[in-house]
Homo-oligomer: A and B are copies of this chain.
């Protein structure tokens, strides 16, 4: 099979550790390595390096080449972010260009998986179904009533063991609906992980993004030539930013399947979410996680990250988030860490562009 690791995002949720120049997927957020490397290491038992394609932003090309030096992985650099639909279309066209007919596993570069073996076995099953022409998605079995994710509703009966037709994709629910979804057991979190052959994918683009599909066809001759960057820039200049879910999955008339998985997935979408992911291994008896040169006195359930080489002392606080970097410092209520984007918005309005 082929693997596409989507690493073109430019999130602000881990400010001040993440910046426009160094988004989350290039940071060591959970382990000791950048998330894109963790993602690669997790998935590489499934395919040889030259079947693994990293789709990144042009501005991260040097950093990506540094991280994957000596690896035969393939890199596609986007001149600008256009969300996931163009990214997946581009990667599918590239695999077709390479002569590949096997299913492509498409995964985001910045997610955390607690149980990689469970994750991989789900993908293998999904790829088997995808080889027969379907689009297959991994459905994360929910562990809590969560309003922050989209959901996938499965059909009542499986097609085979642990493989279901998808009944519908559902937007982020309100709390009552989320509780209902959790109770029913037939709803899964949509982690944005898809498996399909290049042929299936490109047929969908022809149906629902025909202009872009024609552009991809014209681009094909430029793959792996020096003309590629300019050709892709021309195509992306005429392409709208749109998600694969919205552009394709909500419209397709093809059968779509879901493989439920209990792989311990997290999108690590906020500092709080990261605290939740890390606390099992890293927190002390008082619920604190300290990273770097830190001292916590009379404090609990706090997440304290010193990445600025400074000594960081916390006294008498609960549920606090502290992130220290060379040039910016965040102190927040850990439970409000998803609002960090408001600080980034304020910085965008101000003269402090260098802190973005």
Return the contact of A314 from the options B308, B328, B331 (Cβ within 8 A): B331
Number of interface residues of A (CB under 8 A): 36
Closest to A304 in B: B331
Interface residues of A in 302-337 (CB under 8 A from B): 304, 306, 308, 310-317, 320, 322, 324, 326-333, 335-337
Closest to A317 in B: B333
Known: A310-B328, A355-B311. A339 touches B320 (CB 8 A): no
Does A33 reach chain B (CB closer than 8 Å)?
A: no
- Which one of A3-11, A238-246, A281-289, A340-348 contacts B? A340-348
CB-defined contacts of A326 to chain B, threshold 8 Å? 310
Interface residues of A in 213-249 (CB under 8 A from B): none
Complex CA distance for A298 and B295, rounded to whole angstroms: 26
Q: Is the CB of A315 within 8 A of B295?
A: no
* Shortest Cβ gap from A213 to chain B (Å): 44
Q: Is the CB of A331 within 8 A of B317?
A: yes
* Shortest Cβ gap from A333 to chain B (Å): 4
How many identical chains are in the complex? 2
* Shortest Cβ gap from A116 to chain B (Å): 34
Q: Is the CB of B310 within 8 A of A327?
A: yes
Closest to A311 in B: B328
Complex CA distance for A336 and B296, rounded to whole angstroms: 14
Q: Is the CB of B297 within 8 A of A314?
A: no
Q: Is the CB of A311 within 8 A of B340?
A: no
Binary interface encoding of chain A residues 160-178 relative to chain B, with 1 for a CB under 8 A from any of its CBs, else 0: 0000000000000000000
Q: Is the CB of B311 within 8 A of A333?
A: no
Q: Is the CB of A333 within 8 A of B315?
A: yes
Closest to A315 in B: B332
Does A352 reach chain B (CB closer than 8 Å)?
A: yes
CB-defined contacts of A316 to chain B, threshold 8 Å? 332-333, 335-336, 339
Closest to A15 in B: B313
Complex CA distance for A315 and B339, rounded to whole angstroms: 8
Complex CA distance for A258 and B36, rounded to whole angstroms: 72
Return the contact of A310 from the options B315, B329, B336 (Cβ within 8 A): B329
Q: Is the CB of B346 within 8 A of A297?
A: yes
* Shortest Cβ gap from A51 to chain B (Å): 43
Q: Is the CB of A297 within 8 A of B342?
A: yes
CB-defined contacts of A328 to chain B, threshold 8 Å? 310-313
Q: Is the CB of B312 within 8 A of A340?
A: no
Closest to A323 in B: B313
Complex CA distance for A184 and B298, rounded to whole angstroms: 37
Return the contact of A313 from the options B317, B333, B335, B343 (Cβ within 8 A): B343
Closest to A330 in B: B313
CB-defined contacts of A313 to chain B, threshold 8 Å? 16, 328-332, 343
Return the contact of A329 from the options B297, B329, B333, B339 (Cβ within 8 A): B329
Q: Is the CB of B297 within 8 A of A317?
A: no
Cβ contacts A to B, 14 pairs, < 8 Å: A295-B346, A306-B329, A308-B310, A310-B327, A310-B328, A311-B352, A311-B355, A313-B330, A315-B332, A317-B331, A322-B331, A324-B329, A329-B329, A331-B331
Having A304-B331, A331-B331, one finds 16 other A-B pairs with CB under 8 Å, namely A16-B313, A295-B343, A297-B339, A297-B342, A297-B346, A298-B336, A298-B339, A310-B327, A311-B328, A314-B330, A315-B330, A315-B331, A315-B332, A315-B336, A322-B329, A322-B331
